[in-house]
Structure 1
Amino acid sequence: MFKPAKEAAPPAPERSVVPTGRETVSIRIDADVLAFFQEDGPGWQDRINTALRSVMEAGR
């Protein structure tokens, strides 16, 4: 008659769109400020994030 139904595959684990908890945003930064952070090459976004975090923590 009918073949037994196949067991459904388990659902794929949910993946975070932003695995590090970061969000993509668009901000306007003065050209000289951007150039300063980009001088040392790749990782400039992380350096900006670190600088912003230190300002944030200093304000507490």
Structure 2
Amino acid sequence: MATGKRPEPTRDRTDWARLRAMPEDEVERIADADRDNPATVADGEWTDAFVGLPPAKVSVHASFDGDVVAFFKRGGKGYQSRMNAVLRQYMERRLAEDQKR
């Protein structure tokens, strides 16, 4: 339901002055140490990579037990996505079990 409020823009936390003053070799050293930097990932690690769009979302009205919702909300923003991830994991396990039969 729309609340009429606009979402607050994400605050940029980058220290641009520090970054501009950093020597190039320091930038390279940090990039080389970054495990999430695609340039530092071995080629073999991409062998099984899957590139694709996530499944389309469908809006539904659902009622959950209050303590279940409270549990997921304790994790902060994205609680609905976490609930979806749990349901997806359950679905995928059941589908895998059904294929074994």
Name the TM tier (shorter chain): 0.5 to 0.7
What is the match of residue 12 of structure 2?
Answer: none
What is the match of residue 13 of structure 1?
Answer: none
Identity across the alignment (%): 39
| Cα-Cα RMSD | 1.1
Structure 1 segments of 4+ aligned residues over 6 angstroms from their partners? none
Corresponding residue pairs, total: 41
Question: CA separation in 1, counterparts of 2:59 and 2:77?
Answer: 17
Q: Which has the higher helix share?
A: 2
Structure with the bigger RCO (C-alpha within 8 Å, sep 6+) is 1
Question: CA separation in 2, counterparts of 1:57 and 1:22?
Answer: 17
Larger radius of gyration: 1
Q: Structure 2 length normalisation: TM-score? A: 0.39
Determine which of 63, 66, 70 is the counterpart of 1:28: 63
Structure 2: 5+ residue stretches without partners: 1-54, 96-101
TM-superposed CA distance for 1:23, in Å, is: 1.3
